[in-house]
Amino acid sequence: MGRALRADAERSVRAILEAAERVLAQDANASMEQIAEAAGLTRITVHRRFANRQALLEALAVSAKQQLIDAIEDARPDAAPALVALYRVTANVLRVKSAWRFTLSHATAHTEAAAALWAEINAHTVKLLTRAQHEGLLAPDTDLDWTGQVYYALMSEALNRPGADQDPTAQDPDTLATLVIDTLLHGAGPRD
């Protein structure tokens, strides 16, 4: 997809990606035909946009990662103190991760494009954690690489909490962001 697509082609690609996410979340082995049906398109149309399943999975990875970047940037992390920025970014990212659970939780081949997007996501995270450290939210000797890994893990765990599927409020991105940030900054120990 090197050149710009016409508006109808863009809509088809978006419909295919959204349908693929829904269908694959239900059945990771779903066929391209099942995805086409869910998108309301013919199998031929899907194959015209994505030569094979691997190409579709790679496009899903790129699309989801781009949406994560958009969510981070929409939070305008540089326009607020680090604590506020952490909450905003986390809530926005959790919204995207919730909508793209299959793609963001399954290992897919890292294309050059997906790897570049991940590097950009990670750079945003390191920048925000560095600000949090400078503003005293994190200890001066905090290992920011480790903290970033813990932050990512906390977000994944927050979305996959046992019993959360039975309590709709347990999946609220703002509530989950509070849980993630409080745990990241304070752990399970008492609050001073």
- For the chain, first and last CA: distance in Å? 53
pLDDT, tens digit (0-9, with 9 covering 90-100), for 115-141: 899 999 999 999 999 999 999 999 999
Cβ(84)–Cβ(91) under 8 Å?
no
Positions in the chain whose pLDDT score sits under 50: 1-2
Separation of alpha carbons 182 and 180, rounded Å: 6
4 φψ region: left (φ > 0), alpha (ψ -120 to 50), beta (else): beta
pTM: 0.85
Separation of alpha carbons 51 and 71, rounded Å: 29
Cβ(38)–Cβ(63) under 8 Å?
no
How far is CA 115 from each of CA 111, 144, 154, rounded to the nearest angstrom? 6, 20, 22
Question: Which residue, among 27, 75, 78, has the nearest Cα to 53 in the 3D structure?
Answer: 27
Q: What is the pLDDT of residue 112?
A: 87
Q: What is the pLDDT of residue 1?
A: 45
